[in-house]
Amino acid sequence: MRSFLFRLLCYVALMAAVCGGAILLLHLAERKAGGATGRTLYINDSLMADVLVFGSSRALHHYDPTIMQPLLQHDVYNCGEDKMGIIFNYGRYCIVSRRYAPKVIVYDIEPDYDLLYDDNTSYISGLRQYQDMAEIRNLLVDVDSSERIKTLLWPYQLNNRLLPMIKDIVSPADIFKLGYLPYEGIMEVFLPEKLPQDNYDLLKRKYLEKLVAHCQGRTQIVFTASPQLSYRSDSVYVPLKKYCAESGIPFLNHFCDTAFTNHPQLFHDANHLERRGAERFSAMISKEIKRCLK
């Protein structure tokens, strides 16, 4: 029995050393990567801009910092992330705010990712490596109670990081300008959609309010909704409008703005502006944001 226990302990120690070494090598390799991996590392470890844009793909592809900076007279960086809503973005803000408090957060609210119910586990893979932070640890467990155990397994922390990192090392394309990535090309086919109106996600609402509380007294937050073509009504935002009015938070709503929706040539697809549309929107929203700044 003693021999068995000794061999078992040696095996566990060996596996721990191998996994720990793999994570260390991954961290070192990530610092050599460009593309999305390099951008993520810069946001989490080095970013110090005055104004940060948060949100999903509609943030990433609609807010051009090169246009916003001279109008706001502040440094601007786009932290938007494809297919990521408030669950992920609250975690990202907690990571950034360890180092400094930005002056302004501009958060583009996308109904599916920020307001309505869906699979919230899809938002947490990029946060697992920061589980040593209490806020991130609590968020992971809030989304999935099994994360208490899963995140103890070091290989699990590597999930979804290794292949993108290798790609960004082999082909480190510099495609982001101050975090921003415009869409090129005009949409060819437009299909309208319907948006559910009564399927609000209480966990998303919790983290939206936690973000506001986290910013209180440190960072001014401005909520926005950029233009789209899919939906003819913005009624899905009614609860958010009420919350913003009660909390004194600006909500700059252009979800169904006919200055854009009447011009489909400004769109790359039904939910995203093309480069020219994004440039026009960035100039307009910057002027509105400036009027809101304290």
Inter-CA distances, 64 with 9, 47, 181, 230, 286, Å: 54, 17, 8, 22, 10
What six digits make up the tokens of 248?
């004194």
Strand partners, 150: none
* Cα 243–Cα 101–Cα 164 angle in degrees, nearest 5: 90
CATH homologous superfamily, domain 49-124+171-292: SGNH hydrolase (3.40.50.1110)
Distance CA 160, CA 163 (A): 7
| Amino acid 294: pLDDT | 73
Pick from 59, 88, 112: nearest CA to 231: 112
The DSSP letter of residue 177 is B
The helix-helix angle for 162-170 and 35-45 (nearest 10°) equals 110
Distance CA 22, CA 20 (A): 5
| Amino acid 232: pLDDT | 85
Distance CA 76, CA 228 (A): 23
Q: Which parts of the chain have pLDDT scores under 70?
A: 1-34, 150-175, 189-197
Distance CA 222, CA 287 (A): 13
**Is there a contact between 270 and 230 (Cβ–Cβ < 8 Å)?**
yes
Question: Tokens 């999935």, residue?
Answer: 144
| Amino acid 36: pLDDT | 82
| Amino acid 6: pLDDT | 56
The DSSP letter of residue 229 is S
| Amino acid 177: pLDDT | 87
Amino acid at 223: F
Going across the sheet that includes 104-108, the strands are: 76-78, 51-55, 104-108, 220-225, 251-253
Pairing status of strand 220-225 against strand 51-55: unpaired
| Amino acid 132: pLDDT | 87
| Amino acid 254: pLDDT | 98
